[in-house]
């Protein structure tokens, strides 16, 4: 899916400075919700990092971090950083 796209690797601390304002449609992995739930379990139980591929207004990005929690619209990363689920492409453990 995303392997063909060149993703800029960023630090999670930079996510809050990114823009998610344009309503671009993101082609999400069909099992994204399952990936989010599994990544949250790994983060809470084992403090395991995952690779999150997402799209901001400038293009595809990747962040390697821990997911602490998720809701219906956002995931919460280690350090209290929030990322909108509708911009996530896929998550790899």
CATH topology assigned to domain 2-92 = SH3 type barrels. (2.30.30)
Nearest residue to 22 (alpha-carbon basis) of 51, 59, 50? 59
Q: Give the model's pLDDT for residue 22.
A: 87
Note the pTM of the prediction, 2 decimals: 0.92
Output phi, psi for 58, to 5 deg: -100, -20
Residues of the chain with pLDDT below 70 are: 1-5
């Amino acid at each position: 899916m995303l392997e063909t796209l060149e993703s800029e690797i960023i630090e999670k601390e930079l996510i809050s400075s990114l823009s998610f304002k344009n309503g671009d449609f993101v082609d999400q992995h069909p099992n994204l919700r399952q990936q989010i739930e599994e990544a949250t379990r790994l983060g809470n139980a084992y403090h395991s990092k995952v690779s999150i591929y997402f799209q901001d207004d400038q293009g595809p990005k990747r962040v390697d971090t821990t997911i602490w929690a998720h809701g219906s619209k956002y995931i919460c990363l280690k350090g209290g950083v929030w990322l909108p689920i509708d911009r996530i492409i896929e998550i790899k453990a």
